[in-house]
Amino acid sequence: MTVSEPSLRVSGLAFAYPDGSPALAGVDLTVAPGERVALLGPNGAGKTTLVLQLNGVLRPSAGTVEVGGLPVVKEHLQEIRRRVGIVFQDPDDQLFMPTVAEDVTFGPANFGMRGPELEARVSAALTAVDMTSLAERSPLHLSGGQRRRVALATVLACDPEVLVLDEPSSNLDPVARRELAEVLLRLDRTMLMVTHDLPYALQLCPRSVILDAGRVVADGPTRELLADDDLLAAHRLELPYGFSLAPGRAH
């Protein structure tokens, strides 16, 4: 990959369900290396469908997806799935081993890594999410916030180019939410965050894209988009009660 290649390039992407109903209708999206982008939109907008195109779980009806210049096509799927790491909303979808360390080891080992290199990768991933001290603990005995961070570590251990986060703040208490944000802000990764949590998008992602009815309807600085009341209302998005983006006002 050359440095000029975007981490993610989606061009004219369309997808229809088996019954013919469209889920994506000509999505264009380019994300530069290291950029953090929030993907916003109402339920049913096509956000999850778009995410599942990025690592080849779903195949487009039309259009293309490239990750670091590599097309998402059948012959590249193993490398694409290493490059695109998805952290699902429910940690139970990713944690299934007896200990935290074994969960984090599973991914890179599955990609063929062994020995000291594997140990170093696991150690770095646990350090990145502040979970080294709990490496031998069962994930079943962790709090929700800790489990979310371990799920993140399982993906980081595979060294993805693009980190996709599906509703990362859901069901977290305020402290766990803050701790996860601190971890994410430290990561030097290209990040695409799917969320309904608009303040979290503002905190973590300088840029946001609003998807509705399978189309990109807005793409720009997060603060500007969230300050546009008419835009939010038109696409069934709403800031929490009492949250203000007015200059000089506390959030």
Mean pLDDT of the chain: 92
Query: Stretch 5-33: mean pLDDT, rounded?
Result: 93
- Residue from 180, 178, 205, 203 nearest 191 by CA: 205
Measured between alpha carbons, how far is 88 from 167 in angstroms, rounded to an integer? Answer: 8
CB distance 97 to 82 below 8 Å: no
The pLDDT tens digits of the residues spanning 166-205 come to 999 999 999 999 999 999 999 999 999 999 999 999 999 9
CB distance 90 to 150 below 8 Å: no
pTM to 2 decimal places: 0.92
Examine the pLDDT at 135 and tell me if it is beyond 60.
Answer: yes
The tokens of 163 are what? 């980190």
Measured between alpha carbons, how far is 92 from 235 in angstroms, rounded to an integer? Answer: 31
pLDDT on residue 231:
96
CB distance 234 to 45 below 8 Å: no
- State which amino acid sits at residue 166: D
Give the single-character DSSP code of 206: S
The burial of 9, by beta-carbon neighbours within 10 Å (0-12 exposed, 13-18 middle, 19 or more buried), is given as: middle
| % of the chain with per-residue pLDDT over 70 | 96
Low-confidence winner among 18-22, 198-202, 214-218, 247-251 (lowest mean pLDDT): 247-251
Q: Checking phi first, is residue 8 left (phi over 0); if not, alpha (psi -120 to 50) or beta?
A: beta
Q: What length does the chain have?
A: 251
- Residue from 35, 18, 27, 34 nearest 64 by CA: 27
Helix or strand (DSSP H, E) at 85:
strand 84-87
Q: Which residues fall within 8 angstroms of residue 48, CB to CB, at 6 or more apart? A: 166, 194
Beta bridge partners of 64: 11
The pLDDT tens digits of the residues spanning 31-59 come to 999 999 999 999 989 999 999 999 999 99
Measured between alpha carbons, how far is 104 from 48 in angstroms, rounded to an integer? Answer: 24
Measured between alpha carbons, how far is 232 from 184 in angstroms, rounded to an integer? Answer: 25
How distant, in Å, are the alpha carbons of 54, 138, 152 from that of 116? 31, 23, 21
Distance between terminal CA atoms of the chain? 41
Domains of the chain, earliest start first? 8-90+161-234 (3.40.50.300)
The pLDDT tens digits of the residues spanning 54-80 come to 999 999 999 999 999 999 999 999 999
The pLDDT tens digits of the residues spanning 105-116 come to 999 998 888 999
